């Protein structure tokens, strides 16, 4: 049974854009869905915070920090974040969809991996973390669940939800957020997180890939935390005899309990890994580990959670956990030499993961190592029916039936859905229901000419179309407020459901607007109303060159066309503004002109015949008197 049917978000569309198709995974803080971006017509993963946590500002801030942090990385081995938003009670991240499985799936089904395969997975992980560390971020929650392996063999690091700036690393108190099995000692004891906690976690992951199990086990999280604090990670060759010493040294160096003894960041560890690979021969890299399946634990060791940190015992000055009593300390494990790991250096070639998949005999191209009872349904979205049948057959699955439905997202003839969905596991030789797109459902655009706007909108909605942009135009024959035309037109081809139809609505017959500026208000009103227009008067009067009580300006310019019944607003003049006239006698004529014109007057220069002087001798309006703005002042220069 597909449990996603019980999920209220499946089938919904967030933010009017992201259609949720299926639930992929659920965690302690969020659920991940496969969705379709209906704007860009692409499949993506939608990570939705649990609504109960959306009310917690700290969790929301962490969610948004993940989006911003990952968006800055833009690294091929980091799951890209495209968008972040909130729709009602749902806060989400829109991320790259990686069709495939997690490293946890591989370890659960396969157990220990060949050293070559383990390094081929670890190197792109370290490359991604190295880019994050150089950008100033610490992941803080590295574990196999956050390593995605795509159908095409690409390895990507996911879930930067606990990411924190290197510059903001602090010593927290009380608790630490992370996953028990991969926490560095300093995270547990002091709450310190810098790039070296990611290095430690990668060392644990490497040990787990080489041996098929975690280095520190316990009956409770408290026991696991105690061992992180008090025991060295044992050499993987203890669990898998015959592993090369270089691999023991890598694990020892990466998981040193003292952070100063570890590589300072993921890039430094990547250099050591490549150096170790160069020193190992094919026999060491391709040694076949025991094929026991990895131990499956159902405890909280694999889940990101808030974990109480140890507090200092005031009597013994040792560390203890504040959550529960601890068992007696286990026998100390062998302390692997850290010094010898420092000799690893050099760079080796990075082998393609896809080639290793063939070595593992994974037939279908999906890196998912099946136990034989279950098979992973391949991702068939967007494939043709023939391609889908071929891929299902290659995976050992059949076609239960083929349904056909309309879709505005998937091209006609391509797979728009499968049941179970891609990525789900079903029993071998099972059958899948494949739904093929019939393309968008189409309807005819109705003839709306002459219909009132609201009635036209209702008819479009009833036909399965969407009312689009409304523009207006003059019309001699269509009444004002009714539809003149549509785009697309009614006589054109059928259109897909929800297609927007633009409407052109009549403004009625055009009416030339008479010019009434300078006319008395009553005359102006009569002229406009006689043309079929409505008239309003602005509440405030203004100064203008027009006499008081006449029209200073009109809202619709003279000579333009308006619709019958349109309103023209008239502003009444208070008459021209009175401005004090300065004394410009004795000034040069050009300077006097500039002074007067700057105050809003017009200026006339009167220069006597045969006068060779340019100095102002008199002015028509004496200094100190006021004159109307825009009136003319005459200045006269001296004569002979």
Indicate if 79 and 159 belong to the same structural domain: no
pLDDT digits (tens, 9 = 90+) for 234-284: 999 999 999 999 999 999 999 999 999 999 999 999 999 999 999 998 889
pTM, 2 dp: 0.49
- Over residues 502-516, mean pLDDT: 92
- Over residues 156-169, mean pLDDT: 60
Indicate if 113 and 20 belong to the same structural domain: no
Which CATH number fits the domain that encloses residue 239?
Answer: 1.10.510.10
Cα 162 versus chain centre, distance: 17
Asked if 474 and 563 touch (Cβ cutoff 8 Å), the reply is yes
Domain boundary among 394, 417, 437: 437
Domain-located, residue 234: yes
Indicate if 239 and 128 belong to the same structural domain: yes
Kindly tell me if the per-residue pLDDT of 535 is higher than 90. yes
In which domain, by residue range, is 533 found? 511-572
Domain-located, residue 366: no
Indicate if 254 and 309 belong to the same structural domain: yes
Active-site residue, 141 included: yes
**102-111, 117-126, 461-470, 544-553: which is most confident:** 117-126
Kindly tell me if the per-residue pLDDT of 312 is higher than 50. no
Indicate if 167 and 260 belong to the same structural domain: yes
- 113-117, 215-219, 330-334: segment of lowest average pLDDT: 330-334
Indicate if 244 and 318 belong to the same structural domain: yes
Pairwise CA distance, residues 78 & 67, whole Å = 12
Catalytic residue among 120, 141, 151, 232: 141
Indicate if 446 and 537 belong to the same structural domain: no
Rounded CA Rg of the chain: 40
Indicate if 271 and 349 belong to the same structural domain: yes
Domain-located, residue 365: no
Indicate if 107 and 191 belong to the same structural domain: yes
Average pLDDT value for the chain: 81
Domain boundary among 416, 437, 458: 437
Domain-located, residue 542: yes
Q: How many domains does the chain have?
A: 6
Indicate if 559 and 612 belong to the same structural domain: no
Asked if 432 and 398 touch (Cβ cutoff 8 Å), the reply is yes
Indicate if 550 and 626 belong to the same structural domain: no
Kindly tell me if the per-residue pLDDT of 147 is higher than 80. yes
pLDDT score recorded for residue 223: 87
52 φ, ψ (degrees, to nearest 5): -65, -30
- Over residues 37-65, mean pLDDT: 83
pLDDT score recorded for residue 71: 78
Pairwise CA distance, residues 10 & 21, whole Å = 6
Kindly tell me if the per-residue pLDDT of 108 is higher than 60. yes
Domain-located, residue 271: yes
Domain boundary among 73, 97, 121: 97
Which CATH number fits the domain that encloses residue 78?
Answer: 3.30.200.20
Domain-located, residue 608: yes
Indicate if 474 and 546 belong to the same structural domain: no
Asked if 18 and 32 touch (Cβ cutoff 8 Å), the reply is no
Domain-located, residue 236: yes
**334-343, 351-360, 415-424: which is most confident:** 415-424
Pairwise CA distance, residues 549 & 394, whole Å = 91
With CA atoms as reference, report the closest residue to 92 among 153, 175, 13: 13
Pairwise CA distance, residues 65 & 76, whole Å = 20
Domain-located, residue 368: no
Which CATH number fits the domain that encloses residue 584?
Answer: 3.30.10.20
Record the tokens describing residue 513, joined without a space.
């607007």
């Amino acid at each position: 049974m597909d449990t996603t049917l019980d999920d209220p978000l499946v089938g919904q569309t967030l933010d009017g854009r992201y259609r949720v198709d299926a639930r992929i995974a659920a965690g302690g803080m969020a659920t991940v869905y496969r969705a379709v971006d209906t704007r860009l017509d692409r499949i993506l993963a939608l990570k939705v915070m649990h609504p109960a946590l959306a009310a917690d500002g700290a969790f929301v801030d962490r969610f948004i920090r993940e989006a911003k942090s990952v968006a800055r990385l833009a690294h091929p081995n980091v799951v890209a974040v495209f968008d972040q938003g909130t729709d009602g009670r749902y806060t989400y991240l829109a991320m790259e969809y990686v069709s495939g499985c997690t490293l946890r799936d591989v370890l659960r089904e396969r157990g220990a991996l060949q050293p070559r395969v383990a390094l081929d997975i670890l190197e792109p992980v370290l490359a991604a973390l190295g880019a994050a560390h150089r950008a100033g971020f610490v992941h803080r929650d590295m574990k196999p669940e956050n390593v995605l392996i795509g159908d095409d063999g690409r390895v990507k690091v996911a879930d930067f939800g606990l990411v924190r700036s290197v510059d903001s690393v602090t010593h927290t108190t009380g608790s630490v957020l992370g996953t028990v099995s991969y926490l560095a000692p300093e995270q547990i004891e002091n709450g310190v997180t810098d790039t070296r906690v990611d290095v430690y976690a990668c060392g644990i992951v490497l040990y787990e890939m080489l041996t098929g199990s975690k280095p520190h086990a316990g009956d409770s999280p408290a026991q696991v935390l105690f061992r992180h604090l008090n025991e060295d990670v044992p050499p993987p060759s203890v669990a898998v005899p015959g592993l090369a010493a270089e691999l023991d040294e890598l694990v020892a160096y990466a998981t040193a309990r003292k952070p100063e003894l570890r590589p300072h960041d993921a890039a430094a560890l990547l250099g050591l890994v490549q150096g170790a690979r160069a020193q190992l021969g094919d026999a060491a890299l391709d040694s076949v580990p025991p094929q026991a399946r990895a131990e499956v634990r159902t405890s909280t060791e694999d889940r990101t959670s808030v974990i109480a940190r140890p507090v200092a015992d005031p009597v013994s000055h040792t560390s203890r956990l504040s959550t529960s009593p601890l068992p007696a300390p286990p026998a100390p494990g062998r302390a692997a030499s850290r010094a010898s790991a420092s000799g690893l250096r050099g760079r080796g070639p990075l082998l393609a993961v896809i080639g290793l998949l063939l070595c593992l005999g994974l037939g279908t191209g999906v890196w998912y190592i099946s136990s034989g009872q279950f098979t992973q349904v391949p991702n068939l979205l967007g494939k043709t029916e023939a391609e889908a049948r071929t891929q299902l057959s290659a995976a050992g699955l059949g076609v239960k039936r083929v349904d056909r439905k309309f879709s505005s997202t998937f091209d006609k003839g391509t797979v728009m859905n499968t049941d179970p969905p891609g990525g789900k596991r079903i029993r071998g030789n099972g059958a899948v229901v494949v739904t093929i797109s019939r393309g968008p459902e189409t309807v005819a655009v109705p003839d709306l000419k002459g219909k009132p706007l609201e009635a036209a909108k209702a008819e479009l909605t009833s036909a399965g179309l969407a009312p689009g942009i409304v523009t207006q135009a003059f019309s001699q024959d269509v009444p004002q407020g009714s539809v003149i035309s549509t785009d697309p037109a009614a006589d054109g081809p059928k259109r897909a459901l929800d297609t927007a139809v633009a409407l052109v609505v009549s403004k009625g017959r055009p009416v030339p607007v008479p010019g009434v500026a300078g006319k008395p208000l009553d005359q102006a009103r009569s002229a406009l109303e006689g043309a079929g227009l409505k008239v309003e008067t602005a509440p405030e009067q203004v100064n203008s060159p027009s006499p008081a009580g006449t029209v200073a300006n009109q809202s619709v310019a003279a000579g333009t066309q308006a619709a019958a019944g349109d309103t023209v607003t008239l502003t009444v003049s208070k008459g021209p503004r009175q401005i004090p006239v300065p004394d410009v006698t004795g000034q040069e004529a050009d300077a006097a002109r500039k002074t007067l014109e700057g105050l809003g007057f017009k200026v006339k220069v009167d220069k006597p015949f045969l006068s060779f002087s340019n100095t102002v001798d008199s002015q028509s309006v004496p200094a100190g008197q006021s004159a109307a703005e825009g009136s003319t002042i005459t200045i006269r220069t001296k004569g002979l």
